[in-house]
């Protein structure tokens, strides 16, 4: 899969028919991110040949806008896309004062992913269908 240019974006595609499982593919990078020591300043989007950029994008403190879409694509399976206003800027701080906080109990609930999909930039089905065709 190829990322769209000019936007901060996470993509996940799998046969998983569960948006939370797809989201957790990105969250699984947390351990390598924590080992990297990049909390104070992002040096790279990988560490010891492990991806960490999806996770760092999610937790980027200065994000104030987030839009996510989920769709089934015949050619790649189930697709989750999240776009962010900013993030993953090399030599910038990952953690800081958050723009908005989300209660941990919401993240651990059965629909915790919906707590993350909270702002104005939602994808519509037409866009997701076009994206499936382009992949």
Residue-wise pLDDT tens digits, 28-84: 999 999 999 998 899 999 999 999 999 999 888 887 777 888 888 888 888 888 888
Residue 17 · residue 78 · CB < 8 Å: yes
Tokens matching residue 54: 């999806």
Report the Cα 39 to chain-centroid distance in Å: 17
Q: Tell me the residue length of the chain.
A: 135
Domain 8-134, second-level architecture: 3-Layer(aba) Sandwich (3.40)
Tell if the pTM clears 0.85, that is, is over it.
no
Tokens matching residue 96: 């800081």
What is the domain partition of the chain in residue ranges? 8-134
């Amino acid at each position: 899969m190829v990322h769209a240019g000019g936007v901060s974006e996470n993509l996940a595609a799998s046969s998983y028919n569960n948006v939370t499982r797809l989201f957790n593919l990105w969250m699984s990078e947390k351990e390598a991110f924590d080992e990297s020591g990049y909390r104070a300043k992002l040096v790279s989007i990988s560490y010891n040949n492990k991806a960490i950029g999806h996770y760092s994008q999610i937790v980027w403190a200065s994000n104030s806008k987030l839009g996510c879409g989920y769709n089934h694509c015949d050619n790649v399976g189930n697709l989750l896309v999240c776009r962010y206003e900013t993030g993953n800027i090399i030599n910038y701080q990952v953690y800081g004062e958050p723009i908005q906080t989300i209660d941990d109990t919401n993240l651990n609930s059965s629909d915790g992913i919906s707590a993350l999909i909270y702002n104005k930039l939602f994808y519509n089905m037409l866009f997701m269908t076009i994206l499936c065709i382009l992949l």
